[in-house]
Chains A and B, each alone.
Chain A
Amino acid sequence: MNCFKIAGPRTIAEALAFAAEAGDNAIYISGGTDWLVNGAKKVAGGLLIDLTQVEELTYIEERADHLVMGAGVTFSRIATNPLVWEKARCLAQAAAQIGSTQIRNRATIGGNVANAAPAADGVPPLMALDAEVLAIKGEIRRWVPMGEAVSDLCGGLMPGTLFAAFRVPLLLNSVSAFVKLGSRSTVSVAKLNLAARIQTTEDGRSRNVRLAMGAAAANAFRVTAVEKLWEGRSCEEALAEELAGGLVTQVDRLLAGRASLPYKREAIRGLAYDLVLDIGRAVEDGGRGNGRKA
């Protein structure tokens, strides 16, 4: 009583060929840790294209001005990769806090973004890092900024688009951090998450600030109003308090009328502090985002 067929391409080209042949009734699956739980999305009578054995999707490397990784890289690998910790710290931090060890060994960065859960922990870091995703559909290959990628997931880009890779621009003197509030300290879906990236000036102030918030709307988004508060400031408690105020305004707007509003508008303050103090510490460590390894 199988409700779908399954194919196991070995290359991106093969994957695209399977997709082209199957038309609209095909979906890509990676680690499957989201999709297999939400069984409602079964592809009845269609084709499941299993990407887990496509080697081309599993690299992590530095290329010129970018850190590039295949969409099939698991969160375990991201969470333990020295290059990611050094150049894209908030992504490594997020990876280390997704699910459990077993989940991290299967869940991939591409799957996390494509699944587009509002609380997806991989999205705010990518947004804060100004990342782009290599989206391939048929003959089209395009690097799509994260903001557009996630909003398109709610609309036009899917179905049929393969996320092949992510690239993060490497900036001088940049530091990033990710924080998450779950129902418990580990192995929990986020109630709220935040990621931020700054570049530091010589006197330790922040510039070129990116701040992304997840779990509060249909997708994560850049909180530009609060980024403005952060510009030019140094990372200390006073800033945290102000950012908290700015984020509360966002939460009030997004969760108006929701039962979770009273809690989240209070708790976001904790995240704001965690975020600012963590980035502050990283700045002191030499502005290189020396984080713990998972």
Chain B
Amino acid sequence: MLLEFVVNGEAKAVPIEPDEKLLTVLRNKLGLTGAKEGCGEGECGACTVIMDGQAVNSCLVLAYQARGKEIITIEGVSQDGQLDELQRSFVHNGAVQCGYCTPGMIMSAKALLLRNPKPTDAEIRTAISGNLCRCTGYVNIIRAVREVAENLGEGSI
């Protein structure tokens, strides 16, 4: 069967199997390897992408369920090769170490800021509660998101 959906602003049509996950389609069929499989059961969040404006674990979405949806992956965040504000904030706030959780973490933070440009600390923590990180202890990640939230101008996300 053919999956027709939009990924990072581009229309795609990909042949899929019924039991295929969105994560493997993104990684193996579209070459978007930013999203990772860390656990395969929706606990670690390394596979997080944005689907129709919401953060989801792509390892728990059947590819077929993404029909007609708009997906944003980490590869779709930077514009014209320029890091966006959130990405820049992650870099200079030391929110990245091994980087494996980073794509999923950024997508969760991005989904939050799209919906709520001025989150509280508690809201930031809740937004990334499903993103495990073993390197940073979340401290600099929360700082990075908070900095963007504090600086956010109109329409910059």
Which residues on A are within 8 Å of B, measured CB to CB? 1-6, 8, 29, 31-33, 36-37, 42, 48, 50, 52-53, 76, 99-103, 105-106, 186-187, 294
Contacts and interface: CB of A to CB of B under 8 A. Distances in A.
B62 A103 contact: no
A32 B45 contact: no
B42 A37 contact: yes
B18 A5 contact: yes
Given A6-B64, A48-B18, A187 B42 contact: no
B19 A3 contact: yes
B18 A6 contact: yes
Interface string B112-129: 100000000000001111
A119 to B, nearest CB: 16
A4 B137 CA distance: 41
Interface residues of B, number: 30
Given A100-B129, A100-B130, A186-B129, A50 B42 contact: no
Given A6-B62, A37-B42, A102-B57, A294 B18 contact: no
B13 interface: no
Contacts of A42: 19
B24 interface: no
Interface string B94-116: 00000000000000100110000
Contacts of A106: 56-57, 60-61
A101 B1 CA distance: 30
Interface in B41-69: 41-43, 45, 48, 54-57, 60-62, 64-65, 67-68
Interface of B: 1, 17-19, 21, 41-43, 45, 48, 54-57, 60-62, 64-65, 67-68, 108, 111-112, 126-131
A36 B61 CA distance: 8
Contacts of A29: 62
B45 A105 contact: no
Given A37-B42, A101-B108, A103-B57, A8 B64 contact: yes
7 closest A-B pairs by CB? A100-B130, A6-B18, A105-B54, A2-B17, A102-B57, A37-B41, A102-B130
Given A101-B111, A186-B129, 16 more contacts: A1-B17, A3-B19, A4-B19, A6-B1, A8-B64, A8-B67, A33-B42, A36-B21, A48-B18, A76-B54, A99-B130, A101-B128, A101-B130, A102-B60, A103-B42, A294-B126
B110 to A, nearest CB: 12
Most buried by B among A2, A3, A6, A33: A6
Contacts of A8: 64-65, 67
Contacts of B17: 1-2
A50 B127 contact: no
B55 A102 contact: yes
Contacts of B42: 33, 36-37, 99-100, 102-103
Contacts of A6: 1, 18, 62, 64
Contacts of A4: 18-19
Contacts of A37: 41-42, 60
Given A4-B18, A100-B45, A32 B108 contact: no
A47 to B, nearest CB: 9
Contact of A36 (B60, B67, B111, B128): B60
B55 A52 contact: no
B66 to A, nearest CB: 10
Contact of A32 (B43, B60, B128): B60
Nearest to A4: B18
Contact of B130 (A3, A36, A103): A103
A53 B67 contact: yes
